[in-house]
Structures are given as structure tokens and as C-alpha cells.
Amino acid sequence: MRLGPGRSRVRDIAMPLALLLLPALAAANDLVRLDKSRLEQQFLLQTSYEQPNAVQDFMTSRSRLVTFRRQGNALRMVEPRRHEIHPHRMLATIPIRDETARELTIDFNAGFKRIFEQEDRTGEDYYGRLDRDYYASIRLTDRHLLDVSRNGPMLVIRQSGRDEAGNRLIVHYYLTPYRRNPDFVPFEIENLDHFGFYETYPRRRAGRTVLYAMKFDVRQPIVFALSARIPASRRQAVRDGVRYWNKALGAEKLRVIDAPEGVTAPDASYNVIEWLPERDQGSTSHIQSDPLTGEILHANIFLRSGAVGEGNRARQDDHLRYVVAHEVGHALGLRHNFAHGPVSTVMNYFDFEQAVRIGNDVIESGAEALEYDRKVVRYVYLGEPVDVDALPPFCTDNQAECSSFPRLSAERSRH
Ligand SMILES: [Zn+2]
């Protein structure tokens, strides 16, 4: 095992100072050190995983607030009950291997032996406005840590393991002392009648059930980093697809950069747009958020090389512009809008010709963004008033009589 990825060498050198400043979490060899003063405090645990042989080759796991409690020679990682009717949940038992007056040295790999299947983002059209007590998991065998590094106060751990069928998985854990962003203003979703965002899992607040839209904090730029794997000849089309949402917002809130050397998705510091070889699935988008507020903390987009489609270079690039705008829409929290009628959003599926036209006439050109995208993203992100009854028609994935026909262009999976 190596300590941290190559690009964090500077951090390794600076570690003694960092340890003084941030004594909460530190890593050495296969073991992880935890400051005893952090016991019983809240941590945010975020998990994503790569499963190269599965239908979905990248997935997230529900983000959870957890605490660590000592019990003899082990730490129990507990998720405090989210509803009065649910019990506290013990999610992992982590052996303590060593101890000083101030610190515990814990065997993270021995304790983290399953991945919970619930995805981080949800929607009330899937499960209703209820938080089910659902803990189905993938059991991991043949486990070892690949690397442990730190990103500010965040501990970043990569683990390798196998599922029950023997397929190799790589799991990414981000563990951070929890601090809610005090300036982030959550957006409550009352229903999915007129527009749709991915939602936090329902929570009870003051006697009622609340679901928040998943969205970024726009007081800072939303930065997307283009992976070095995106061919040079396609990068302008990808940038155009991202910047479509600046047109929709009417403000330069999104910024596109080239990912620093060695940065690939997923990465703890960057929202990466990755480029993958064509498989029998479409491009996908994944977000992880603060479970209490819906603030998106990480986004990853995986473009399939087949997203360029057919035809001459210009048509291929226009098609790619549409696919990128669609996936970045998901990364900003937007759900599909499969309503039939005049084109009003990039969050629908289109046949190839229509997608090329949107890429050319709407995204590349100086034309303004489509009406649904413009009005909805400004309402949720900027608080601009909207008359929801006057919005273009809306319906999404699992709502009754909402079909994604023609299911041709953007994706062949649900994302
Ligand atoms: Zn989609």
C-alpha cells in the first residue's frame, strides 16, 4: 500500500505540521489513526464504488452521518436513528490495533466489509415520501486498502475487494468531521408535479416530512474538471455542454478547467468529467450530497466515447454537446423531464437528429437556453420567482404514464 496518490507528495512532506493542525484523522500504513477527542462526534461518510463487470460500473452509496463509539478493543461506527421509529444502526465494527493517550489506531479494512446498496440521490417517485429502514448491502471479501490520503480534514481511503460473484470492486470512502455549510440555503421540494430535482432522503422536521433538492452552493464557482482522457478534438464540445448551464442560469456559475495531471473520476477534490470506452450502456452522472441539506459535495460524469454518435465531425460534436448538457444537468441535480411536446429542456431523450439540432441550434449557438431549463434552474439555484403552473409540461422517470419514448439518444440506462 502506498500512502496517498502521487500528486499528494507535497502533503506527505507537510504531514508533521498537518498532524499538529489537524490531529483528528491521520493514516499510516494499512492502519488509520483517530483522535480520541473525535469519539462521539459526527462524521460524514460518503462512499462510491467502481464495479467494472457490472451493468452500472460506477455507483454511489447513501451518504450518512455517523459516530464512532468505543467498546473494548473495537470501535463501533453507529448511524444514529433518523426517525423515532427506527433503531440506531451499527454499521461497522472496527478493531483497535494500538492506542496512545490521545489516539487510537484502527484497522479500517477489517471493519469496512460491506457497501450499502441505497444510492445517494433519491426521488419520491421511486419510494414515496418515506425513508425506508433499508440496509441491503454488498458483502466484500478479499479486501485490502489501496491507499489512504488526506484532503484537508477529509480522510480519503481506497479499498479493493470482491463481491459474492468474485468480481473485483474498488471502493472510495470520504470521511470528514461533519460541519454543515452555514451559508447554504436548502430548497425544499414539495412535490414532483411541475419540475424535478434529485432529492435528499426524507427527514422529519418539526412534525412533518421534508425533502430537499440536491444542488450546489452557487456562492462559489461550480468547477468541472475535464479528464486528460477526453480527446483533444472533443474538448471544446464538452466545454460547450457544461457552459450551456451558464446560459440557463444567466450567470457564469459553472467553470470548466483541465483536470490536473493524474486526476481521474472519482476524485475527492474535483468534479471530474471522465471519458470511457463505449460499452453497452450510456453516459452517466453521479452526485453525493450533504444528507441534511442536499448541498452537492461531489459530482462525477462518465461520458462514453459512443456519445459522439454518427455522421461528420460537426454532427458528432453537436450530439456530444447535447449529451454533456444532459449529464451536467443531472450533476446539477435535475431529473429527467420526459413530457411530450415542443422541445423545452435538455433533460429529455431525443432521437439522433433532434439531439444534433439541439447541440447546434441551442448549445453551440448564442441562443438562450431552453425554457424549462432556464426557469427551473434559476428558481431552485437563484431563487428567481416562477409561476410553476406556467412552466412547460413535466413528468419524470417513475411517475405514472411518463414514458421516455424515444429512448434513443442520450442513454440506454436510467441515468
Ligand atoms: Zn439522463
Q: 330 or 309, which is more confident?
A: 330
- Render pLDDT for 85-127 as a digit per residue (tens, 0 to 9): 778 899 999 999 999 999 999 999 999 999 999 999 999 998 8
pLDDT digits (tens, 9 = 90+) for 361-397: 999 998 999 999 999 999 999 999 999 999 999 999 9
Q: Kindly provide the b/e burial profile for residues 96-126, where b requires at least 16 CB atoms within 10 angstroms of the residue's own CB.
A: beeeeeebbbbbbbbbbbbbbebbbbbbbbe
CA 245 to chain centre: 18
Same domain, 107 and 215: no
**Is residue 119 situated within a structural domain?**
yes
Q: Could you report the per-residue pLDDT of 224-250, keeping only the tens digit for each?
A: 999 999 999 999 999 999 999 999 999
Quick check: 273 pLDDT over 70? Answer: yes
Dihedral sign of CA atoms 344, 350, 356, 359 in order: positive
Query: Smallest Cα–Cα separation from 302: which of 274, 321, 282?
Result: 274
SS3 label, residue 74: strand
Q: What is the pLDDT of residues 38-63, one digit of tens each?
A: 898 999 999 999 998 888 899 999 99
Q: Identify whether residues 133 and 222 lie together within a single domain.
A: no
Q: How far is the CA of 165 from the centre of ligand 1 (A)?
A: 29
197 Cα: distance to centroid of ligand 1 (angstroms): 12
Same structural domain for residues 268 and 403? yes
Query: How many domains does the chain contain in total?
Result: 2
Per-residue pLDDT, 414: 42
Does 183 map to a domain? no
- Report the range of poorest mean pLDDT among 25-34, 156-165, 345-354: 25-34
Instruction: Please indicate, yes or no, whether residues 166 and 220 belong to a single structural domain of this protein.
Output: no
Residue in 174, 171, 172, 173 with CA at minimum distance from that of residue 153: 174
Same domain assignment for residues 94 and 233:
no
- Whether 346 maps to a domain, the answer reads yes
Q: How far is the CA of 358 from the centre of ligand 1 (A)?
A: 15
How many Å apart are CA 195 and CA 386, to the nearest integer? 11
Q: How far is the CA of 333 from the centre of ligand 1 (A)?
A: 11
Of the CA atoms within 13 Å of residue 147, those in its CB half-sphere come to 12
Residues 405 and 276 grouped into a single domain: yes
Residues 127 and 252 in one domain: no
193 within domain boundaries: no
Q: In angstroms, what is the span from residue 254 Cα to ligand 1's centroid? A: 19
Distant-in-sequence, close-in-space partners of 9: CB < 8 Å, separation ≥ 6: none
In-domain check, residue 185: no
Q: Residues near 100 by Cβ (< 8 Å), separated by ≥ 6?
A: none
Is residue 242 located within the same domain as residue 127? no
Q: Is 407's pLDDT higher than 60?
A: no
How far, in Å, is the centroid of ligand 1 from the Cα of 178? 31
Residue 409 alpha carbon to ligand 1 centre in Å: 10
Q: How far is the CA of 350 from the centre of ligand 1 (A)?
A: 11
Range(s) of the domain holding residue 288? 203-412
Report how far residue 301's alpha carbon sits from residue 272's, in angstroms, rounded to the nearest whole number. 6
Q: With 70 as the cut, is the pLDDT of residue 215 above it? A: yes
Query: 157 alpha carbon to ligand 1 midpoint, in Å?
Result: 29
Phi, psi of 69 (to 5 degrees): -120, 135
Is the pLDDT confidence value at 410 over 70?
Answer: no
Whether residue 5 lies inside any domain: the answer is no
- Which residue, chain included where needed, has cell 441491503? 136
What are the CA-CA distances from residue 107 to residues 34, 195, 224, 341, 359 (Å)? 11, 45, 34, 56, 50
Report the CATH number at residue 291. Answer: 3.40.390.10
Q: How many CB atoms lie within 10 A of CB 227?
A: 21
Cell of 267: 476524485
| Residue 131 Cα to ligand 1 middle (Å) | 24
Ligand 1 geometric centre to CA of 414 (Å): 6
From ligand 1's centre to the CA of 45, what distance in Å? 26
Both 79 and 115 in one domain: the answer is: yes
- What is the Cβ-side half-sphere exposure of residue 157, based on CA atoms within 13 angstroms? 27
4 within a domain of the structure (yes/no): no
